[in-house]
Amino acid sequence: MSAPSTAITLANLATHYPALQIVLPLVTAPLVVLLRGTRLVWLIAFAVTLACLGIAVDLYAQVLQQGEISYAMGGWAPPVGIEYRVDRFNGLMLILICAIAAVVLPFARTSVEKEVADNRLSLFWAAWLLCFTGLLGIVITGDAFNVFVFLEVSSLSTYALIACARDRRALTSAFQYLIMGTIGATFILIGIGLLYMLTGTLNMADLAERLPAVTQARTLNAAFGFIVVGCSLKLALFPLHLWMPNAYAFAPSAVTAFIAATATKVSIYVMLRFFYTVFGAEFSFGSMPLGEVLMTLSIIAMFSGSLVAIYERNVKRMLAYSSVAQIGYITLGISLATTSGLAAGMLHLINHAMIKAGLFMAMGAVVYRLGSCRLDQLSGLGKQMPWTMAAFVAGGLSLIGVPLTTGFVSKWHLASAGFGAGLPLVPVAILASSLLAVIYVWKVIETAYLRAPLENATPVKEAPISLLIPMWIMVAANFGFGIQGTVIWQAVQQAAVQLTGGV
């Protein structure tokens, strides 16, 4: 078959990267279902994830060179058609999601074999790819309704992934998450509907142009409220976080590592996109008391999350509560409503994704050997699984924010952004909450290294190398970006300047 004259070439393939970013995993998911039951399935999924990572990196490079990329789906020019838009912020998010997926996938292959029934494996990978597609789609799209669709694609597949675990409590936590997640997504849908009523458009850039004319309308306030609450549910902001601990604790470990590092982060992205691009900072933080509300909730989240984590005996649940606290840090940075606060929030968003992916993978390796991650069963594990526990310690140091780790870099910037905004209490709160993190991380370290193994416990071996390598890649990233702290910081600063500096 001879190619037509206008045929796609390698040179113009790059112009279609925004579409391919989504389409590649989307097409692979049904293929995986068709190819069921083969080892090939995982290889294909991994190859596609790597290809997506390549595309994401290339897209970001394109953005750095020539500014924002806009891609018209179906050839319909925006604002009529659906627009895919890549800028400095979501370019970074795309890389983050793809990189986390690429590191967690090799881990998942081994870990999932133990935690998911064999006959479900090919469907598991299909759901995984759909979840990946959904997350990328939320980030890349420039259309408000499309956000809802991809949000549901990723959420529905996440519920299925969580329910894949063998523990029956996974079913109830998936159900709980489904109810809460659907309410959150429906709230976002209501908000988008109200925005559409006001303006007659769904394109984000177009919305941003038309909304300033109607800032007096009460409908706008209602739309804002619905979207904020919906996003807060999805990102597990303090009083709306109740779905998260169980979902993280009982999901297969690889799924936990993946969604803890990406799903909530993507929801934060959606919220920021609406705050800054659609509603505009002036409306969000000026007309609406968003800064005050968000800051109060963030600080409560930082302390309540850490406090509950201290008393938690299941380490995965402990880490989930610690995520509630860490999300508090991110929203605290956002609530400062300054460019440096926003950048610090984004930085912690990326860093926390790396920290939690590493920590949950370490716990996944423990579950792989022990079949559980109850704190008392970890006794003496420091000698039996030295590499795994060392990775946990390293990740824990980053979580606390010890110098030379990414956690330190982002907390440093958060604290200085707090000073910059004239709120000296913010650094104090960050420091105090970090001290609480020391306590719960220390509890795990103490149990693993200083206690003798339980008498009736059968000694276990170190985790297989296929689990250790992804884990240590994340740990290395934590220290690498901690020492070279300016690399990400500069990128997020540019992203923050772009978000706050108008369209």
Partner 1 sequence: MNWIEHYNYWMVILLMMLGFYTIIARGNLVKKIIGLNIFQTSVFILFISMGKIPGGVAPILRDDPTTVYSNPLPHVLILTAIVVGVATTALALALVVRINEAYGTIEEDDIHDLDTGSL
Partner 2 sequence: MTHHFILRVITKLLIPLILLFALYVQFHGDFGPGGGFQAGVIFAAGLVLYALVFGLDTASQVIKEWVLLLLVPLGVLIYAGVGLASLYFGGNYLDYNVLAHDPVHGQHLGILLVELGVGVTVAAVLTTIFFSFAGRGQRDVNEVLKKSSGDGDAGQTS
- Choice from 27, 51, 183, 460 touching partner 1 (CB under 8 A): 183
Could you tell me which stretch among 24-32, 163-171, 344-352, 468-476 binds partner 1 (CB under 8 A)?
163-171
What is the distance between the alpha carbons of residues 479 and 397, in angstroms, rounded to a whole number?
A: 10
- Nearer of residues 36 and 313 to partner 2, judged by Cβ: 36
Could you tell me which stretch among 69-77, 142-150, 212-220, 357-365 binds partner 2 (CB under 8 A)?
69-77
What is the distance between the alpha carbons of residues 197 and 486, in angstroms, rounded to a whole number?
A: 44
What is the distance between the alpha carbons of residues 495 and 339, in angstroms, rounded to a whole number?
A: 10
**Which residues, numbered 71-100, are part of the site for partner 2 (CB under 8 A)?**
71-75
**Residue span 134-153 as binding mask against partner 1, x where in contact by CB under 8 A, dash where not:** -----------x--xx--x-
Could you tell me which stretch among 22-30, 190-198, 289-297, 455-463 binds partner 1 (CB under 8 A)?
190-198
**Residue span 9-28 as binding mask against partner 2, x where in contact by CB under 8 A, dash where not:** ---x---x--xx--x--xx-
Q: What is the DSSP string of 409-475?
A: HHHHHHHHHHHHTT-THHHHHHHHHHHHHHHHHHHHHIIIIISPPPTTPPP-PPPPHHHHHHHHHHH
Contact 28, 128 (CB under 8 A): no
- Greatest Cα pair distance, the chain, in angstroms, is 74
What is the distance between the alpha carbons of residues 319 and 321, in angstroms, rounded to a whole number?
A: 5
Contact 102, 48 (CB under 8 A): no
Residue 31 interacts with partner 2 (CB under 8 A): yes or no: yes
First to last CA, the chain: 45
Binder of residue 72, out of partner 1, partner 2, none (CB less than 5 to 8 A by kind): partner 2
- Choice from 52, 96, 99, 174 touching partner 1 (CB under 8 A): 174
Contact 168, 250 (CB under 8 A): no
- Choice from 81, 123, 175, 453 touching partner 1 (CB under 8 A): 175
- Nearer of residues 44 and 183 to partner 1, judged by Cβ: 183
Residue 8 interacts with partner 2 (CB under 8 A): yes or no: yes
- Nearer of residues 34 and 452 to partner 2, judged by Cβ: 34
Contact 363, 249 (CB under 8 A): no
Residue 123 interacts with partner 1 (CB under 8 A): yes or no: no
CB of 183 to partner 1, least distance (A): 7
Could you tell me which stretch among 3-11, 87-95, 461-469, 489-497 binds partner 2 (CB under 8 A)?
3-11
- The footprint of partner 1 on this chain (CB under 8 A) covers a number of residues equal to 25
Binder of residue 242, out of partner 1, partner 2, none (CB less than 5 to 8 A by kind): none
Token digits of residue 29: 């998911």
- Nearer of residues 21 and 351 to partner 2, judged by Cβ: 21
Residue 168 interacts with partner 2 (CB under 8 A): yes or no: no
Q: Which of 231, 270, 268 is nearest to 142 (CA)?
A: 270
Residue 7 interacts with partner 2 (CB under 8 A): yes or no: yes
Contact 499, 276 (CB under 8 A): yes
Binder of residue 307, out of partner 2, partner 1, none (CB less than 5 to 8 A by kind): none
- Nearer of residues 157 and 377 to partner 2, judged by Cβ: 157
- Choice from 6, 66, 216, 456 touching partner 2 (CB under 8 A): 6
Q: For the chain, how many residues are written?
A: 503
Residue 33 interacts with partner 2 (CB under 8 A): yes or no: yes
CB of 155 to partner 1, least distance (A): 9
- Nearer of residues 197 and 483 to partner 1, judged by Cβ: 197
In the chain, the amino acid numbered 97 is I
- Choice from 11, 34, 452, 465 touching partner 2 (CB under 8 A): 34
Q: Which of 431, 420, 423 is nearest to 340 (CA)?
A: 420
In the chain, the amino acid numbered 392 is F
Residue 169 interacts with partner 1 (CB under 8 A): yes or no: yes
What is the distance between the alpha carbons of residues 284 and 281, in angstroms, rounded to a whole number?
A: 5
Could you tell me which stretch among 39-47, 70-78, 101-109, 315-323 binds partner 2 (CB under 8 A)?
70-78
Bridge partners, residue 72, by sequence:
83
Residue 313 interacts with partner 2 (CB under 8 A): yes or no: no
Neighbouring CB atoms inside 10 A of 97's CB total 29
- Nearer of residues 34 and 465 to partner 2, judged by Cβ: 34
In the chain, the amino acid numbered 243 is W
CA dihedral 76→77→82→88, nearest 10 degrees, is: 140
Which position has the token pair 């909304």?
Answer: 211
Could you tell me which stretch among 18-26, 52-60, 192-200, 298-306 binds partner 1 (CB under 8 A)?
192-200
Q: Which of 486, 389, 384, 492 is nearest to 446 (CA)?
A: 389
Q: What is the DSSP string of 31-98?
A: HHHHTTT-THHHHHHHHHHHHHHHHHHHHHHHHHHH--EEEEGGGPPTTTS-EEEE-HHHHHHHHHHH
Residue 82 interacts with partner 1 (CB under 8 A): yes or no: no
Residues that bind partner 2 (CB under 8 A): 3-4, 6-8, 12, 16, 19-20, 23, 26-27, 29-31, 33-34, 71-75
Residues that bind partner 1 (CB under 8 A): 145, 148-149, 152, 156, 159-160, 163, 168-169, 171-172, 174-175, 178-179, 182-183, 186, 189-190, 193, 196-197, 202
